Amino acid sequence: MADSLYRGRFAPSPTGPLHFGSLVTAVASYLEARSRGGTWLVRIEDLDPLRESAEATQRILASLDAHGLHSDEPVRFQSECHARYHKLIEQLRDQGLAYRCACSRKQLREHGGRHPERCREGHAEPGERPFAIRFALHDEHCQWQDQLLGPQSQQVQAELDDPVILRKEGFYAYQLAVVADDIDQRITHVVRGSDLLDMTAQQQQIYQALGGRPPHWMHIPVIVNAEGQKLSKQNHAPALDDRLAVGNLKQALTALGQDATLLSGASDIDTLLSRAAATWAPERIHLTAR
């Protein structure tokens, strides 16, 4: 059944070219949106100029296009959203939901995650020291229904789990930007790797603090290499060969547990994606995903 209110997205960080693990996530989010008659967006999460490059951004977008994964709306770049993020942080600080923190990781580790300068209470005076801004979580036993994994629960601990939303280097952090843009782009459903599952409860509190409604979540298994490590740029996952797009897509669909026999005879990208969307069965993912 078509769901014109469904809005999903794929949001890679441009720290390197697209690899197979990222393609699997992109395909899953794309097919979930297409199978429900919804909208699918691409967002580039270019928040860290020290690790990212314009070349990587262009290679990612070129790979998505080569594989027929086209955004239904103009691609969003988080590097162009700084003014909005700044305004949201000021709003959170005014509400007492964010605070400055000059504590080092070593200090927090030595104090069991507690802030030795009582940062949450506004006692910290960073002075000339660089400081981060953290979101002030509240204690919560968070529960939600994951569309693939079923019932989920996480315990959130105030202070100990407070995420950084503005880094000491002055860069806006993922935990703020991803929520801010999901709200702004009216994202209703998020399909992403299970390596991000542990962030969900924290993000739901940020959604609520910013006046947004958390999306429906679907966390899919990550693809791993021969050593059992998640395929990632840090683990030197090879870039996709865009000349082999049809083969790459078929491999991604196999990794997602889809019935390859239903795709026989699909020798071009458009036909392949159309058939894959028509036969998309996310409940099969856990059976064969690696």
Looking only at the bridges linking them, the beta strands covering 150-156 and 140-146 are: antiparallel
- Of 164, 186, 184, the residue nearest 175 (C-alpha): 164
Complete DSSP assignment for 68-126: T---SSPPEEGGG-HHHHHHHHHHHHHTTSEEEE---HHHHHHTTT--TT-GGGT----
CA distances to 60, 175, 197 from 182, rounded to whole Å, are 20, 11, 16
| Contact predicate 9/44, CB 8 Å | no
| pLDDT tier, 290 (very low <50, low <70, confident <90, very high otherwise) | very low
| Contact predicate 107/129, CB 8 Å | no
pLDDT for position 111: 93
Q: Is the alpha carbon torsion for 178, 197, 169, 126 positive or negative?
A: positive
Average pLDDT value for residue range 85-104: 95
Q: List, in order of start, the domains of the chain with CATH numbers.
A: 7-81+179-288 (3.40.50.620), 82-166 (3.90.800.10)
Average pLDDT value for residue range 252-271: 87
* Helices and strands (H and E) in the chain: how many: 9, 10
pLDDT for position 265: 76
| pLDDT tier, 227 (very low <50, low <70, confident <90, very high otherwise) | low
- Of 37, 24, 35, 30, the residue nearest 8 (C-alpha): 30
Task: Name the residue with tokens 């880094």.
Answer: 167
Cα–Cα distance, 132 to 219 (Å, whole number): 29
Its pTM stands at 0.91
